[in-house]
Amino acid sequence: MKLLLTVLLLCGAWKALAQPITYDVSVNTSSIAGTNGSLDFNFNPGPLVTQAASLQILGFATGPTDGTLAGGPTLTGDITGALPGTLTFDNGTGFNDYFEGFTYGKNQHRVVRLPSACFQMRQVRSRL
């Protein structure tokens, strides 16, 4: 009975991991509104052995209250897309960077999505 319960719980946990994890990120930038600066997003592998992973930045808001992009982006590594559209990163190279000039508004909002492939169960232990 204990083994069956453990297997059912692990199957349920695995199914939960199959869904992407999404973070809704909002930043109050009112203290630097109107200031010229830059955006610099990185998604890089760990220092030793790293499993393949990816992430997306989507829903990036631009406009009078959110801020405006200035100039074109500089992409280094495994990145596709451009703001304000969807950016997709993976960690297939050692340095993955998106850099772009930006004039800050009062607020910043973006959504970050981590596909379930980022999280793999490495080892499962059970006690009987």
What is the C-alpha separation between 49 and 1, in angstroms, rounded? 37
Count other Cβ atoms within 10 Å, centred on residue 20: 13
Q: Where are the domains of the chain?
A: 20-116
Per-residue pLDDT tens digits for 79-127: 999 999 999 999 889 999 999 999 999 887 777 887 755 444 443 343 3
Closest CA to 107 of 57, 78, 67: 67
For 8, phi then psi, to 5°, come to -65, -40
* Measured distance CA(68)–CA(73) in Å, rounded: 13
Q: Chain centroid to CA 112: how far?
A: 4
pLDDT at 4: 38
Alpha-carbon span 55 to 41, nearest angstrom: 11
Q: What is the pLDDT of residues 36-79, one digit of tens each?
A: 999 999 998 888 777 888 889 888 888 888 899 998 999 999 99
pLDDT score, position 116: 56
